[in-house]
A and B are shown apart, each in its own frame.
Chain A
């Protein structure tokens, strides 16, 4: 609520919206950047310390006071977690890649196919189907854990990757998200295609899908992230070490190496790197997807 900011004398013609501009003025620039940077450090420094610790020796990792630059950088911790038979980290890595990749593909495929008729066709039962899907957005997932465990057990999927790929692929959010996107597309192109004799399938594959690339990528990235990070379900349905995904594996790693923080941080870095890399490249899609989730239209 600073009031001492000097009034700006000139407003450029093509200036940003005035309301934003006036707010901007109230907080002196230097102070703003100082605040933003301090806040940024709060978010980034723990991640940096995780990375730094993973390159420390066992002794230094448990050392007091903590060091921000490893005295004698070593990859011992990585070597150790990767080559320990009880904690097959590379296998977990592969499992997570397969699981998140397959789940994202399944989510996007089934949700896109389902969203199209819900956005563009009229047929008996549409209202009921859509209401049911929307209703499950509000049902806490805890209610499904016990019965799904039994269903997955009945299908002989327990302790296999299928258990973490398939059941979570019925994404109500995905259908909802893509339906909204399809509704926002102009109809003219579809109508033109129909006049040219295209059927529903051709319209979907040749008109709708190519126009929807950003939405499809956003959903794929969000689904990949969600599956990669999923914790509760894999912890309980994947019990043998070699069947686990990285988050479940981290839990195993922690049980096996209680306070060996050098090893735990190496494991955590391995579990974070792919999503952080994905984040750097797909940041726009992730943040746009999340932003839009709270808005109309």
Chain B
């Protein structure tokens, strides 16, 4: 449940997307089982994982929908069935939930639209510079990746200090070179968006760059040679060899970055607390607070389903955009 990191993947979490690996056709190539008790053995192997998987992934995914159909307050004894009422509230512009929810969705959208292009282009530039043989290459790669291992809490607490309007490093150095030295990075928009996006780029640039770099190194040298023989200049070989060769990696990075950005939580929670007002309160932040702070779990569950649905539609869009085109 890491937030962000394209992480972590979720961010954090690094997940792999590629059509070939998802195909199950390859199983037919395996020699058929020689042992009789194979089915039993297979499920014994799978058992421990499946227990966790069913209890904490499959069951909650279904249970969450059931909760969303109730007026589910954790602290109250009665949890009356309300049908689709919790969803209706999200499309009824007169309800309080409507306004709060869509404001938080707007915050998530702003953050995603601002951070994703930067996180797709800048790491690619870094990876292109790194895609050569030179002394210290692995050292620099390790340095650029370093912030990513720190996790959002450390990163956000550190940057709240650096972006402090009065004594923060950023404002002081800005003042020293003649720029405004009183920018309210944490309490005013659009400055707060610049701060949140900038911090996220600083934090996760190395992650995307490392993935790009691996993709670049996977492109066969012969292709560049052939392009050169055909008289292509560097710019042409970038568009005709590098970019097509990078397509699957680009699709993966785009997907992971969008999902991580749309799940942004820690940066807002620790740096701006949603300020000014609730302008930088993201969807995840609002859903978590609604469900786990105010215990309006029916509302929160309904919102998480709407957000998930939108994210899945977006993923399908990304897949379609990067599909293999046979001309």
Which residues 106-122 of A have a CB within 8 angstroms of B?
106, 109-111, 113-114, 116-118, 120-122
**Chain B neighbourhood of A289, CB < 8 A:** 14
Per-position binary interface string of chain B over residues 308-319, scored 1 when its CB falls under 8 Å from any chain A CB and 0 otherwise: 100110010000
A36 CB-CB contact with B under 8 Å: yes
CB-CB under 8 A for A226 and B13, given A168-B1, A294-B252: yes
> Are B2 and A230 within 8 A (Cβ)?
yes
Contact pick for B150, options A22, A109, A248, A272, CB 8 Å: A272
Contact B45 A142 (CB under 8 A): no
A208 to B: closest C-beta gap in Å? 11
A252 to chain B, nearest CB (A): 11
| Interface pair B154/A272, CB less than 8 Å apart | yes
CA distance A145 to B63 in the complex (A): 11
**A166 CA / B266 CA spacing, docked (Å):** 22
Instruction: Write out the residue numbers on chain B whose beta carbons fall within 8 Å of the beta carbon of A146.
Output: 64, 67, 287, 291-292, 297, 300-301, 304
Which of B33-41, B89-97, B188-196 is found at the contact surface with chain A? Answer: B33-41
Measured CB to CB, the closest approach of chain B to A35, in angstroms, equals 7
Chain B residues positioned under 8 Å from A53 (CB to CB): 161
Whether A200 sits at the interface, judged by CB under 8 Å, is: yes
B162 interface hit (Cβ, 8 Å): yes
Q: Indicate if the CB atoms of B63 and A294 lie closer than 8 Å.
A: no
- Whether A268 and B157, one on each chain, are in contact in the complex, defined by CB atoms closer than 8 angstroms, is yes
Q: Does B87 contact A (CB under 8 A)?
A: no
Interface size class of B (residues with CB under 8 A): 35 or more
Contacts of B154 in A (CB 8 A): 229, 247, 250, 268, 271-272
Q: A291-B214, A293-B14 are in contact. Are A113 and B157 (CB under 8 A)?
A: no
Q: Is A80 in the interface zone, CB < 8 Å from B?
A: no
Let me know if A17 is at the binding interface, CB within 8 A.
yes
Contact B167 A231 (CB under 8 A): no
Q: Which residue of A lies closest to B208 (CB)?
A: A294
Q: Contact flags (1/0) for B148-161 with A, using CB distance below 8 Å?
A: 01111110011111
Distance in Å: Cβ of B48 to nearest Cβ of chain A: 5
Q: Give the residue name and chain of the B residue nearest to A278 (CB).
A: B149
B221-244 interface code vs A (CB 8 A; 1 in, 0 out): 100110010000011000000000
Cβ-defined partner of A231 (8 Å) among B3, B31, B206: B3
Query: Bound complex: CA of A17 vs CA of B217, how far in Å?
Result: 11
Q: CB within 8 Å of A: which of B50-72?
A: 50, 52-53, 55-61, 63-64, 67
| Cα A183 to Cα B25 with chains together (Å) | 13
Contacts of A19 in B (CB 8 A): 221, 224-225, 228
B266–A276 contact, CB under 8 A? no
Chain B positions within 8 Å of A231 at CB level: 2-3, 151-153, 265-266, 269
A254's contact among B20, B74, B270, by CB below 8 Å, is which?
Answer: B270
Q: Are A47 and B146 in contact (CB under 8 A)?
A: yes
**A297-B235 Cα distance, complex, nearest whole Å:** 30
In the complex, 19 of the A-B residue pairs with CB atoms within 8 angstroms, ordered by the A residue number, are A17-B221, A42-B202, A43-B144, A46-B162, A53-B161, A66-B167, A117-B43, A122-B32, A138-B15, A145-B300, A146-B301, A149-B291, A168-B56, A230-B2, A231-B265, A247-B151, A279-B142, A287-B145, A292-B214
Which 4 A-B pairs have CB atoms at the shortest separation, nearest pair first? A229-B151, A19-B224, A247-B153, A291-B214
5 other A-B residue contacts (CB within 8 Å) besides A32-B129, A183-B26: A117-B43, A137-B15, A200-B35, A271-B154, A293-B14
